[in-house]
Chain A
Amino acid sequence: MSRFGALERTEILAAVLGGLWCGSLFLPWFAGAGQEGDLTGAGVIDSWWLPLVLVAVASGLQLLDALSIDGFGALPVPAISTFLMPAGLLYTGLFLLAGDELMYGAWTALGLSAAAVVFSAMAWIIDRRG
């Protein structure tokens, strides 16, 4: 029998997906022409670190909450993570709408961020039900 309950499993899954989204920022998102080559999600805009930090914090909190015995006590980790995680989805969506010649990295990021949001919300719902 698993030592993790439904909440912990969902949190771990959401955290892993969020972590993978952070990694997908460094995959090619747009096909580039000339010497510059392909453009990664982190190369699109100088403020790429902002969604990275928000998603990394959300994922880190969920992972620690799932792995620690008592969780974070009074800190509502599932709610906070559900609030922060969509930053990655919005960032990805903004550039998917704005960019041309999309590459696999952009679609990978979209799938990972959407799945991370869904599992974070599921964790929050499970947490609210108690």
Chain B
Amino acid sequence: MDLHGITREQKQLAAAVSMLLFIISLFLKWQTFGPISGSGADLGSWPLVLLIALAAGAIMAADALGMDLPLRRLNPTAVATYLMSLLVFYVLVFLFAIDGIAYGVWLALIFSVVGLLLTFSVYREDAR
């Protein structure tokens, strides 16, 4: 498989899809404690993370589709990379803290890291 053959737009769209999957993973099981289980959306701060993921995904999708973004002088890819790094931080905070980790946290970690790597890869390409 030749990863170098993937275009910039394909990477951006894949990153946007990763954000969508991250959002879905918020509603999956994050913790099991005996008979009790909880999702990522049971955490009081989940709307903030949802907004961050939506913004990051939207920026990537809009840039891939050639839409003008109202970010003035800010580099859209840099902004999306930064937002996705916050998502990775968020998942890690709970990964290290929760007892009885369930599959939802791992999926959230995978999708946020994949999104971050793809977006960072586009950022590096642009910087060159």
Contacts and interface: CB of A to CB of B under 8 A. Distances in A.
Interface of A: 45-47, 50-51, 54, 83, 86-87, 90-91, 93-95, 97-99
Interface stretch (B25-33, B82-90, B101-109): B82-90
Contact of A50 (B43, B45, B48, B96): B96
Interface residues of B, number: 16
B71 interface: no
Nearest to B94: A47
A47 B93 contact: yes
Nearest to A90: B86
Contacts of A50: 89, 92-93, 96
Contacts of A51: 89, 93
Contact of B82 (A54, A83, A94, A99): A83
Given A83-B85, A86-B86, A87-B89, A97 B48 contact: yes
B45 A97 contact: yes
Nearest to B45: A94
B105 to A, nearest CB: 12
A47 B90 contact: no
A50 B94 CA distance: 10
